Every structure is written in C-alpha cells, then in structure tokens.
Homo-oligomer: A and B are copies of this chain.
Amino acid sequence: MNTTRSGRPALTRPDGTPLRVLVVDDDPDLAEVLTGALRYEGWEVRAAADGTAALAAARELRPDAVVLDVMLPDMDGLAVLRGLHESQPDVCVLFLTARDAVEDRIAGLTAGGDDYVTKPFSLEEVVARLRGLLRRAGMARRPEEEAGLVVGDLVMDEDAREVTRSGELIELSPTEFELLRFLMRNPRRVLSKAQILDRVWSYDFGGRAHVVELYISYLRKKIDAGRAPMIHTVRGAGYVLKPVTG
C-alpha cells in the first residue's frame, strides 16, 4: 500500500496509485518546501517555475491537482487555469495568492470549486486544503473510512472545523486548530518544536520556538482542562499527543 513518509497510510487515487500533484511557483525555495511537504504526504510531485513550463508539465504528468501561484512571470492565473482545463477539465487547483491581492479576482478563480490560500501560508494549511479539494472532487480515496481525525476521545471534524472531547465541543482559534490538527495527524509520535514551527506556522515566520510552547499551553487549557492529559511534554525533545490509556 502507498504510504506517507510518516508511515501513515496516504490519501490515494481511486485505483490506489499515488496522487499526482504539480507545484507552480517562481520562487525556487518556496517551490522546494511545498514539494517536500507534498511528497511527505505520499504523493507524486513535480514543480514548474512559470506558466509555460506548468502547462507542458501538466500535459505530461496529467496531475490530479495543481498548486498554482497566481502571480507568475509569464502568464496570469486565469490564463494558466484556462490552459490547464483545456487538457484536463477535471483537475483541482489550489491557488496561492498574496494577501493584498484584489479579492474579487480570487472569487472568479475559485468559481469552479477550486480553493486558495493566501501567502504567507502554513504547510499544514496547504496540505489540508488540497486534501479537502481532492476528496470533494472524488479524486481521492481515503485510506480507511477515517470519517474525521480521532485520537482517543478527541475528535476533529476538519470540514466543520469542530473539535470535541468526550462529545463536548471545544472552541479553538485558527492557530490552535492548526496545531491540534498537526498533533492529531501524528499521534504517539514526539514532534519537535522545530517540526511544529515548520508545519503549523507560515514559512516566513521569524519568531522563536517560544510560540509553540505558548500555543501548547493554550491547547492544554482547552483540551486537557480537568481531564486526564493527552498532550505530554517530552523534555528536550518536543511534544506528543496520546490517547489517555497509553
């Protein structure tokens, strides 16, 4: 079976082969980081630096999804989108856009059910959106019936952005939600603060690992409050999320 590099079973195409994703961004560092993160999901990834290369690569790779920067040196987002749909009408597209980009442009781009994230983004968010797109488009098969993320009595519904523990609803801020999602996708594994920063915070975040401690502290107050703790500190190594019994 196809698996992620973390050992977890991967989201695959309906026939069980790896999902194919094309990353299009003219910043090579960003493209590299994105590529790495998506490969980590167990997907087959290729990168292109401009619209022309993107269209050529798409024709060859026939990707299930494209991660597309709307500001490319040679073509604008809508043109690339048109070109993509010409060769593959069903492809899912996740747009990357600057925060200050004119909002209604985006509105037009996402009309076809596609989605977008604004720069600077966190990798966890990009991966989550892409998974959402692919699932909704029926292009991906879930490894199991994984109705939501479940660790012990802690349950996360990603679509509804709802978290419950023992059936009790817990309200989380956006950052708290992302952090918990990352923890829940890696249960029983110690995650270092650097790993967490790289995944949950946006790539241009200059701050220290200290924020991680802070947000872990917030999560504990909401999730572990008065209950048997699920979030554990491993001094000198990082944090683990574990079901209560073991």
Residues of A whose CB lies within 8 Å of any CB of B are 3-7, 28-29, 32-33, 35-37, 39-40, 45, 78, 81-82, 85, 89-90, 103-114, 116, 123, 136-138, 157, 159-161, 173-174, 188-190, 192-195, 197-199, 203, 208-209, 234-237, 240, 242
27 A-B residue contacts at CB 8 Å? A3-B138, A5-B112, A5-B138, A7-B136, A28-B82, A29-B78, A29-B82, A29-B108, A32-B82, A32-B85, A35-B112, A36-B111, A36-B114, A39-B90, A40-B113, A103-B208, A104-B197, A104-B208, A104-B209, A105-B197, A110-B194, A110-B198, A111-B198, A116-B194, A159-B190, A160-B189, A161-B234
- Interchain CA distance A93-B3 in the complex, whole Å: 18
Q: Known contacts A237-B174, A240-B160; is A113 also within 8 Å of B5 by CB?
A: yes
- A157: chain B residues at CB < 8 Å are 188
Q: Known contacts A5-B136, A209-B103; is A33 also within 8 Å of B188 by CB?
A: no
Partner of A111, one of B40, B90, B236: B40
Closest chain B CB from A172 CB (angstroms): 10
Partner of A173, one of B104, B137, B189, B235: B235
Partner of A235, one of B174, B195, B237: B174
Report whether B203 and A45 are in contact in the complex, using a CB–CB cutoff of 8 Å: no
- A112: chain B residues at CB < 8 Å are 5, 33, 35-37, 39-40
- Interchain CA distance A161-B89 in the complex, whole Å: 33
- Interchain CA distance A160-B106 in the complex, whole Å: 33
Report whether B161 and A106 are in contact in the complex, using a CB–CB cutoff of 8 Å: no
Closest chain B CB from A187 CB (angstroms): 9
Among residues of B, the one whose C-beta sits closest to the C-beta of A36 is B112
